[in-house]
Structures are given as structure tokens and as C-alpha cells.
Amino acid sequence: MKNVKINLRDEFPMLHKDVYLTSYVPDNFPEYSAGKKRRTLLLIPGGAYCFVSDREGEVVALRFAGYDINVFLLTYNVGPYPELGYPFFEGFAAIAY
């Protein structure tokens, strides 16, 4: 499994703070799945913009990866913002990436 933590702010400098996208991508094996294409899921855990739920994060990502689905887990920023739109911008950046 390829497990990489990507800082989306490196790709999208207009983001207010660091935003992380963690990949859970099953490996392709030359014996039976070379070049295989998989479905992909962007996982954005809940928390009502007050926190990012751990029980809706890595545990769920690993479960979907077990079903041979690529998963990208977004760890977005929470807390008091001048504008409430920042988590949405971070989600859109994850989709664009």
C-alpha cells in the first residue's frame, strides 16, 4: 500500500493554512494486477467544523482500501475563521489535486 502524506498548500499556495491529504492506495502486483485501474474515494471526516473525527478517518480509509479502492483522506482545518468557507476551499483543493 502506498501511504503518502501530501501538503496541499505546496500545490495551492492560496490556502490559508497547511492542509493534508493522506493516500491509502493499494499496490499493483505484476503477477495479476499490473496497470489495474481502481475506483477512488475522497474521504472528508465529519466534526461539525469543530474537530476532525478520528473514528471517521483512517479506520474508514483502511476499510475501503481493503475493498481495493484508492482512498485519499483530507485533514482540513477547523476552529474560528474570519470566513467559514475555508474548509470548503480545502475540500475543493483536494478534489483538484
CA pair distance 61, 66, nearest whole angstrom: 9
What pLDDT score does 67 carry?
93
- Looking at residue 82, the DSSP 8-state letter turns out to be S
Q: Over the stretch 64-86, which tens digit does the pLDDT of each residue have?
A: 999 999 999 999 988 766 456 67
Q: Nine-digit cell at 21?
A: 491529504
Q: CA 91 to CA 77: how far, in whole Å? A: 10
Are 26 and 71 in contact by the 8 Å Cβ rule? The answer is: no
Structure confidence by residue, pLDDT tens digits, 1-12: 889 999 999 999
Comparing C-alpha atoms, which of 95, 50, 48, 44 is closest to residue 73? 44
pLDDT confidence of residue 71: 97
pLDDT interval class at 17 (50, 70, 90): confident
